[in-house]
Amino acid sequence: MATGIQFTLSARDGAARTGVIHTPRGEIRTPAFMPVGTAATVKAMLPESVRATGADILLGNTYHLMLRPGAERVAALGGLHRFMNWDRPILTDSGGFQVMSLGPLRKLTEEGVRFASHLDGSKHMLTPERSMEIQALLGSDIAMCFDECPALPATEAEVAKSMQLSMRWAQRSRDAFGDRPGHALFGICQGGVTRDLREQSAKALIDIGFDGYAVGGLAVGEGQEAMFGVLDYAPGMLPEDKPRYLMGVGKPDDIVGAVSRGIDMMDCVLPSRSGRTGQAWTARGQVNLRNARHKDDPRPLEEGCGCPACRSYSRAYLHHVVKADEIIGSMLLTWHNLHYYQVLMEGLRNAIKSGRLAEFVYGFHATRAVGDLELR
Amino acid sequence: MATGIQFTLSARDGAARTGVIHTPRGEIRTPAFMPVGTAATVKAMLPESVRATGADILLGNTYHLMLRPGAERVAALGGLHRFMNWDRPILTDSGGFQVMSLGPLRKLTEEGVRFASHLDGSKHMLTPERSMEIQALLGSDIAMCFDECPALPATEAEVAKSMQLSMRWAQRSRDAFGDRPGHALFGICQGGVTRDLREQSAKALIDIGFDGYAVGGLAVGEGQEAMFGVLDYAPGMLPEDKPRYLMGVGKPDDIVGAVSRGIDMMDCVLPSRSGRTGQAWTARGQVNLRNARHKDDPRPLEEGCGCPACRSYSRAYLHHVVKADEIIGSMLLTWHNLHYYQVLMEGLRNAIKSGRLAEFVYGFHATRAVGDLELR
């Protein structure tokens, strides 16, 4: 098993690591942030622009793509890479988290999850086997096990029961995925905020054997402190020589904290979603371009930033197009946010390489604190 | 007067002409199509992408920009070119047509037009003098006279009265514009579909003297046949050595007909607006990407087209992102449409240069007729 892709670590600094995941479609520099291309597009961006921000890999959503345009259709059109014009690596989630979020629209059994589409109410069934089939039809480079993640709040017994189901599904996912050279399957560690359950889950996954391991069930409302509490030990339960992926994270300070604790990959809709609501992420913190204080400001959003929004436009212009609901506002702010996230990842990688992560993290927080006072 | 810019004609074919308008901000190849950047953005496009389609000049709207972000603000920020990151020529309309469209929200007097903003109901006054001031504050390269255009249907007496008012306003516009080297002021010929009135209007404008002359009051619902009827004689009433601009036109076949009748410049929101509703313009006619027949179609929108939408995506993808209301659908289809319009203008310019316009026009209509049968 676990022969899909290679992962080479080049440096460590404390629990943090930096390295490269090698895939036939290109290298993924870790720690890596993966922009989310839910419906075969990173919203408001052309794929060449996403690449220009420094992204090595995108995330695609099985749930959305199976409903529209449909996995079989994407396969007939040459796969997701060709469909969406992105020839570098793609990771697909399993659909498990998103069907879980449907609440009363879904029904959970040992076999899988039956649910109704949010688009047209049509009935569908996702199982580990069907999820693997869909992800293969999409042609993703890294597939995720189909798992279950209990809605919070949940008792420890509920979390344990859910984790055990996810581990049975992990085995079924592994069996269904089969042997696909050049393609990877990641397991997902569950167990909520209970260390024993995380340990059991990690052991079960390692017994099965995967190309990488995700820490699942976090960033679902437990708060940063509880999340960091789990990340203080969970990455260490996973194989040292495989990538560790924290799903659905997060804000820049979440990312810095997660990388410091040994996480190699992350994804989040936040930078792109924020960009569509006039919110910008900068080294000095979050900037709300809707705020009237920007309307006469000739300065760039972020001094020294190399993205098109900062290179060629004033805060006054960005304020204007955000207020006027012009599409270029979403385009420019999404670009800036994705650019900032990639600059942050590059900074983290370089800091780990040079053994100066603590200094980097100090500077990260200090700059934000100054920004809080001066600029926001 | 009329010393703002130079216009050199290089070839004629029948009534059609091709040449170059020289401005300090760059050359405008004529016949020229000007994309519309209403609120300091060509919707869903970055300005460098607009330029990449081949556009030499944009149009900006005085009415929208005076209300938001405000002409004085744009001036304080360095002018419209810098504000919107477009360093090539910009033509601004006078605001006259758009305040006319406000209907009951506006009140017309000899002095000008008092109106309420569609954004917040605030009261404003536009006069020839204020329109010239705003266009100078924006820093546009080509300003338009402030004029009045009667709503259809209108009696000949109403059209005559309105035209005479516009001619008095043309003189006031000329006086207020003053002498601004490198900046041009265009007069606007009115008179509806009545030849005598057009003649009177043209003579009045020529007496005043302008850098260019627009044929106004068309494309307001009179239909293509009536419009072409006026264009059969109106351009010939205007000075041979000055650019002739047909405002607010149009569909590709309107453009071909107008150029054939001696028009040098046009603008229209159609290619960009269509792009945001899933409509594409091609040499073979209009294509509605919302139509389900595209959902499995691996072919490009238009074979041989060099725009990003056609180079890198299938009709199936464009259908998917249009149906899913993804911003990239607006981005790609707007780009395609603006690209197609510029390819059409280039074709017209080359045909006129080589004395083969009739052949070009025949091919244009024949290709569309075949497209009607085969592709739509």
Mark which of A268, A296, A320 sits at the end of a domain.
Answer: A268
Say which DSSP state A103 is in: G
From chain B, pick out residues whose CB is under 8 angstroms from the CB of A84.
317
From chain B, pick out residues whose CB is under 8 angstroms from the CB of A295.
69, 73
Q: Does A351 lie in the same domain as A244?
A: no
Residues 6+ apart with CB under 8 A from B273: B43
Which of B39, B46, B296 has its CB closest to that of A73? B296
Among A68, A319, A331, A335, pick the best mutation site for testing chain B contact (most B Cβ within 10 A): A331
Q: What pLDDT score was predicted for residue B370?
A: 87
Q: What stretch of H or E contains A204?
A: helix A195-208
Dihedral angle at the C-alpha atoms of A156, A162, A163, A165, nearest 10 degrees? 150
Q: Do B45 and A328 touch (CB under 8 A)?
A: yes
From chain A, pick out residues whose CB is under 8 angstroms from the CB of B68.
320, 323-324
Q: Does B149 lie in the same domain as B35?
A: yes
Mark which of A268, A292, A313 sits at the end of a domain.
Answer: A268
Q: What is the residue whose two structure tokens read 């670009």?
A: A335
Other CB atoms within 10 A of residue A352 CB: 24
Q: Do B327 and A43 touch (CB under 8 A)?
A: yes
State mean pLDDT over A101-116.
92
Among B36, B38, B41, pick the best mutation site for testing chain A contact (most A Cβ within 10 A): B41
Strands B26-30, B32-35: pairing is: unpaired
Euclidean distance between CA atoms A243 and A239, whole angstroms: 8
Q: Which residues of A touch B (CB under 8 A)?
A: 39-41, 43-46, 68-69, 73, 76-78, 83-85, 295-296, 298, 308, 312-314, 316-317, 320-321, 323-324, 326-328, 330-331
Euclidean distance between CA atoms B36 and B29, whole angstroms: 17
Q: What stretch of H or E contains A314?
A: none
| pLDDT band (50, 70, 90) for residue A375 | low
DSSP letters spanning B89-121: -EEE--SHHHHHTTGGGEEE-SS-EEEE-TTT-
Q: What stretch of H or E contains B59?
A: strand B58-60
Q: What stretch of H or E contains A312?
A: helix A308-312
Q: If you measure CA to CA, which chain B residue comes closest to A334?
A: B327
**CB B314 within 8 Å of CB B303:** no
**CB B322 within 8 Å of CB B2:** no
Euclidean distance between CA atoms A10 and A21, whole angstroms: 11
Q: Does A324 lie in the same domain as A259?
A: no
Q: What pLDDT score was predicted for residue B2?
A: 46
Which one of A13, A141, A264, A267 is the catalytic residue? Answer: A267
Q: Does A182 lie in the same domain as A57?
A: yes
State mean pLDDT over A252-280.
98
Euclidean distance between CA atoms A266 and A247, whole angstroms: 6
Question: Shortest CA distance to A367 belongs to which of A253, A284, A257?
Answer: A284
DSSP letters spanning A112-145: -EEEE-TTT--EEEE-HHHHHHHHHHHT-SEEE-
From chain A, pick out residues whose CB is under 8 angstroms from the CB of B276.
327
Q: Does A196 lie in the same domain as A171?
A: yes
Q: What pLDDT score was predicted for residue A269?
A: 97
Alpha-helix residue ranges (DSSP H) falling in chain B:
47-52, 62-67, 71-76, 80-84, 96-100, 128-138, 156-177, 195-208, 224-231, 252-260, 270-275, 308-312, 315-323, 327-353, 357-374
DSSP letters spanning A235-268: GGGS-TTS-EEETT--SHHHHHHHHHTT--EEEE
**Amino acid identity at A259:** V
From chain B, pick out residues whose CB is under 8 angstroms from the CB of A39.
320-321, 324, 326
Active site annotation includes A93: yes
Which of A39, A45, A321 has its CB closest to that of B41? A321
Tell me whether residue A1 is in a domain: no
Number of independent structural domains in chain B: 2
Question: Shortest CA distance to B235 belongs to which of B219, B226, B246, B221?
Answer: B246
**Token pair in block for residue A338:** 């994705």
Tell me whether residue B355 is in a domain: yes
Model pLDDT for residues A128-186, shown as the tens digit of each residue: 999 999 999 999 999 999 999 887 789 999 999 999 999 999 999 999 999 999 999 99
Mark which of A268, A298, A322 sits at the end of a domain.
Answer: A268
Sign of CA dihedral A60, A63, A67, A71: positive
State mean pLDDT over A180-208.
97
Question: Shortest CA distance to B7 belongs to which of B30, B34, B24, B25?
Answer: B30
Tell me whether residue B1 is in a domain: no
Give the number of residues written for chain B.
Answer: 376
CATH of residue A120's domain is: 3.20.20.105
Q: If you measure CA to CA, which chain A residue comes closest to B40?
A: A321
Euclidean distance between CA atoms A283 and A342, whole angstroms: 12
CA A169 to the chain's CA centroid:
21
Tell me whether residue B18 is in a domain: yes
**Token pair in block for residue B333:** 């289809």
Tell me whether residue B216 is in a domain: yes
**Token pair in block for residue A200:** 């059991």
C-alpha distance from residue A141 to each of A171, A182, B43 (Å):
19, 7, 35
From chain A, pick out residues whose CB is under 8 angstroms from the CB of B46.
308, 328, 331
Tell me whether residue A14 is in a domain: yes
**Token pair in block for residue A62:** 């099985």
The range of the structural domain enclosing residue A51 comes to 6-268
Which one of B93, B147, B254, B264 is the catalytic residue? Answer: B93
Decide: helix, strand or coil at residue B191. coil
Q: Does B117 lie in the same domain as B25?
A: yes
Give the number of residues written for chain A.
Answer: 376
**CB A265 within 8 Å of CB A32:** yes
Backbone angles phi, psi at B362, to 5 degrees: -60, -45
Q: Which residues of B touch A (CB under 8 A)?
A: 39-41, 43-46, 68-69, 73, 76-78, 83-85, 276, 295-296, 298, 308, 312-314, 316-317, 320-321, 323-324, 326-328, 330-332
Among A77, A289, A330, pick the best mutation site for testing chain B contact (most B Cβ within 10 A): A77
Would you say residue A104 has pLDDT above 90?
A: no
State mean pLDDT over A247-275.
97
**Token pair in block for residue B362:** 């025949």
Euclidean distance between CA atoms A147 and A169, whole angstroms: 6
Strands A184-189, A142-144: pairing is: parallel
For the ranges A129-143, A212-226, A256-270, A336-350, the lowest mean pLDDT is seen at A212-226
Q: What pLDDT score was predicted for residue B150?
A: 83
Q: Does A327 lie in the same domain as A252?
A: no
pLDDT along chain B (376 residues), means of 10: 80 98 98 98 98 98 97 98 98 93 89 95 96 98 94 90 98 97 97 96 98 94 94 98 97 98 98 97 96 97 97 98 98 98 98 98 95 65
Q: Does B147 lie in the same domain as B12?
A: yes
**Token pair in block for residue B324:** 């899913």
Euclidean distance between CA atoms B103 and B3, whole angstroms: 36
State how far residue B21 is from chain A, nearest Cα, in angstroms. 27
Active site annotation includes B13: no
Which of B68, B298, B328 has its CB closest to that of A77? B298
Euclidean distance between CA atoms B275 and B321, whole angstroms: 12
State how far residue B292 is from chain A, nearest Cα, in angstroms. 11
**Amino acid identity at A215:** V
**CB B231 within 8 Å of CB B263:** yes
Question: Shortest CA distance to B59 belongs to which of B41, B72, B71, B74?
Answer: B41
C-alpha distance from residue B284 to each of A119, A274, B54, B338, B343 (Å):
33, 40, 21, 16, 13
**CB A267 within 8 Å of CB A254:** no
Q: Is the ipTM of this complex over 0.95?
A: yes
Euclidean distance between CA atoms A226 and B282, whole angstroms: 56
Q: Does A230 lie in the same domain as A299?
A: no
Q: Does A198 lie in the same domain as A53?
A: yes
Query: If you average pLDDT over every residue of chain A, what do you get?
Result: 96
State how far residue A41 is from chain B, nearest Cα, in angstroms. 7
Q: Does B316 lie in the same domain as B211?
A: no
Task: Examine residue A69 and say whether the peptide bond preceding it is cis (omega within 30 degrees of 0).
Answer: yes
Euclidean distance between CA atoms A360 and A358, whole angstroms: 5
Q: Do B77 and A314 touch (CB under 8 A)?
A: yes
Euclidean distance between CA atoms A369 and A282, whole angstroms: 12
Q: Does A319 lie in the same domain as A260?
A: no
